[in-house]
Amino acid sequence: MNTMKKIAIADDHDIIRYAIKLLLEKNPVLSVVADTNELAKIVEMCRANKPDLLLLDINFENGDSLNILKQLKKEDRHLKILVYSAHEEMKYAFRALKLGASGYLTKQQAVESLPEAIECVLQGKKYISAALAQELANRVQDDFEAAEYEKLSERELQTLQLIASGLSVGDIAERLNLSVKTISMYRSRVLTKLDLRHNADLMRYAMDNHLVS
């Protein structure tokens, strides 16, 4: 990494963004060119500043950023995205990597591992922790037997998680800016794919598979 690399940060916690900036200032070839605490501004921030790498927190107060990750990679396949989360790795890591993230780490690992992760990702490699690498190895050993919920689309999984959080179909439609008919269709697909019958079944399934906090 000999030329200056542009970094953008998306995290709704001001203190986290500030801490990351302080950490990155120690590296003379990294420059934080933009940051945002708003989920809705991430795409425009990247369009305007053309960063080499986006540091992306998964969980924002008003939703998760994985759908935005998918959009960003569709718009610019060269953009490197390093995802981090306060939650346990396995809950989101595989989804993030499947959607095009270049790496994944937890916030607990960030102080110690972030410089190494950034360097790795900017070199065009994937960054994962030892724990996640072990889980990947376990999946190979288990012949890639995927959990049932991994068959769901992003919208279907999001609908499942919101129902499990106690929201009605109408509430979900309003939050996602979609019609009640569309959300009802997603709910029906989820029930069919998971071989479930009622919302209570969905809530139990989501809790058993750690899909809700």
Q: Would you state the pLDDT for residue 120?
A: 93
Are 60 and 35 within 8 A, CB to CB?
no
Q: State the residue for tokens 């916690």.
A: 13
Q: Would you state the pLDDT for residue 29?
A: 94
Q: Would you state the pLDDT for residue 130?
A: 75
Q: Would you state the pLDDT for residue 195?
A: 86
Which long-range contacts does 140-149 make (Cβ < 8 Å, 24+ apart)?
Answer: 147/209, 148/193, 148/194, 149/194, 149/205, 149/209, 149/211
- Average pLDDT for consecutive 10-residue bins of the chain (213 residues)? 87 91 91 94 95 92 81 91 78 82 84 88 89 69 60 89 92 92 94 89 86 75
Tell me the domains of the chain and their CATH numbers. Answer: 5-141 (3.40.50.2300), 148-208 (1.10.10.10)
Q: What DSSP character marks residue 127?
A: B
Q: Would you state the pLDDT for residue 105?
A: 87
In angstroms, the CA 20 to CA 110 distance is 9
Are 42 and 72 within 8 A, CB to CB?
yes
80, burial (CB in 10 Å: exposed 0-12, middle 13-18, buried 19+)? buried
Q: Would you state the pLDDT for residue 33?
A: 96
Q: Would you state the pLDDT for residue 26?
A: 87
Q: Would you state the pLDDT for residue 51?
A: 96
